[in-house]
Amino acid sequence: MSKPEEPSPFKALDAKLKAARSRRPRSRRRAGGDNEGGVHSGIGIGMRMATEIVAAVGVGVGAGLVLDAWLGTKPWLMILFLILGCAAALLNVVRTGKEMDRQAKERKEKARHDAGP
Amino acid sequence: MAEGAQNGSFPVDPLHQFEIQRLVTVNIGGLDLSFTNSALWMVISVAAITGFMMLATSGRSLVPGRLQSTAEILYEMIAGMVRDNVGNEGRAYFPFIFSLFLFILFGNLLGMIPIGFTFTSHLVVTFFMAMVIFIAVTVIGFVRHGAGYLRLFFPHGAPLWTAVILVPIEIISYLSRPISLSMRLFANMMAGHILLKVFAGFTLLMGIAGIIPLVALVGITALEFLVAVLQAYIFTILTCVYLHDAIHLH
């Protein structure tokens, strides 16, 4: 029963979809995209950067303490590795920032590509 | 919970929800391998994932229904993520990454059920997952590039004498990956669930004015759902990024 009628519901659906798409204002679509980025930039980025810093400094201090206990150079390696850990934390933050930049750019490109045709 | 009420301080113990309870005590050679509530919820989430995927794909209709679309959206999202972040070589790792994403996602979301237990809110669990990924990525890197993988620890084109400073920094940065990866998921889940409990406590304490924290609680619950999905996504995408670094040395 449905066989001969098959194309028509799809066509109707297609027309409906097209109508809905054209009805949806473009500005709202963009606002939605921005909002998504807003969530990312809010809690997401903050937590990501914070954990990157804490983890790198933590690993640095931990490695320093372990090496100190092993080599018997009580505070010195810990201090050295604390500084190195801070440097690694900065490196991590810069890398994360670059990564997020790349993703944001890609998303923007994709959005433009989607909006084009 | 009862303890807090007795002290008259705070009606809810916000940390009670993270307590591990032994359901079936198993002791093998002095090793405590008890089946805990955490393990139970892991089993539940694996069962839920399996049931969901099997039910969703059982129809295999050309025009997907609601359930099948959900499964297809998840599949396509992770497939796209692997393609964009790892590249074509990443396809071999897709099953692992997809399972990882679903496991974390279901763990986070099942934890939002009031009687549920969030196993991702324990550092042991997230750290173990991160460690598996870290070791796997390191092994993949060494298998693909041999000793050349060590170039990862020295930026290309830097003067040789800077190696003294740069190599330890790069090694610390590399070692901090599993820690930041596990800590992010664990901290987000735990902080959110504590926040929910604390606000629930305020609601009980404040009587009629408790409606204010109750309203806030509605918002926080919505936020928690967002965080649950977002953290699963971030964990997965970072796994992809690390895999990319191992496959294509930068």
Q: Position of tokens 């807090």? A: B4
Residue B145 has pLDDT above 80, yes or no: yes
Asked whether residue B79 is domain-assigned, the answer is yes
Residue A31 within a domain: yes
The segment with the largest mean pLDDT, out of B2-6, B26-30, B67-71, is B67-71
The model's pLDDT over A91-115, given as tens digits with 9 standing for 90+, comes to 999 988 888 888 788 878 878 877 6
Cβ contact (<8 Å) for B168 and A84? yes
> Computed over its alpha carbons, how large is the radius of gyration of chain B?
22
User: Does residue B174 form part of some domain?
Assistant: yes
Residue B83 touches partner A, C-beta closer than 8 Å: no
Q: Does residue A63 lie within any of the structural domains?
A: yes
Q: How many structural domains is chain A composed of? A: 1
State whether A58 and B168 contact (CB < 8 Å). no
Domain limits for position B49: 40-247
pLDDT tier, A8 (very low <50, low <70, confident <90, very high otherwise): low
Q: Which residue of B169, B172, B226 is in closest CB contact with A39?
A: B226
Backbone angles phi, psi at B113, to 5 degrees: -70, 135
- Residue A100, pLDDT score: 82
By residue range, what is the domain housing residue A84?
12-115
Specify if A91 maps to a domain: yes
Tell whether A78 lies on the interface with B, counting CB pairs under 8 A: no
CA gap B175, A50 in Å, rounded: 16
pLDDT single digits (tens) B168-209: 888 998 999 999 999 989 988 998 899 988 888 888 888 888
The verdict on a CB contact (< 8 Å) between A39 and B230 is: yes
Residue A2 within a domain: no
Per-residue pLDDT, averaged over A48-77, amounts to 89
Q: How many CB pairs under 8 A join A and B?
A: 60
Q: Do B172 and A56 touch (CB under 8 A)?
A: yes
Does a structural domain hold residue B21? no
Residue-by-residue DSSP string for B30-86: TEE--EEHHHHHHHHHHHHHHHHHHHHHHS--SS--HHHHHHHHHHHHHHHHHHHHT
Question: Which residues on chain A are in Cβ contact (under 8 Å) with B234?
Answer: 44, 48
Question: Where residue B163 falls among pLDDT bands split at 50, 70, 90?
Answer: confident
A77, part of any domain: yes
Structure confidence at residue B8 (pLDDT): 57
Domain annotation covers residue B10: no
Q: Is residue B121 within a helix (H) or strand (E), and if so which, with residue range? A: none
Chain B residue numbers touching A92 (CB-CB < 8 A): 173, 176, 180
Domain count, chain B: 1
Which of B180, B183, B241 is facing A99, going by the closest CB pair?
A: B241
Mean pLDDT of B64-89: 89
User: Average pLDDT of B77-88?
Assistant: 89
pLDDT range class, residue A117, cuts 50, 70, 90? low
To the nearest whole percent, how much of chain B has pLDDT over 70?
96
pLDDT level of residue B155 (50, 70, 90 thresholds): confident
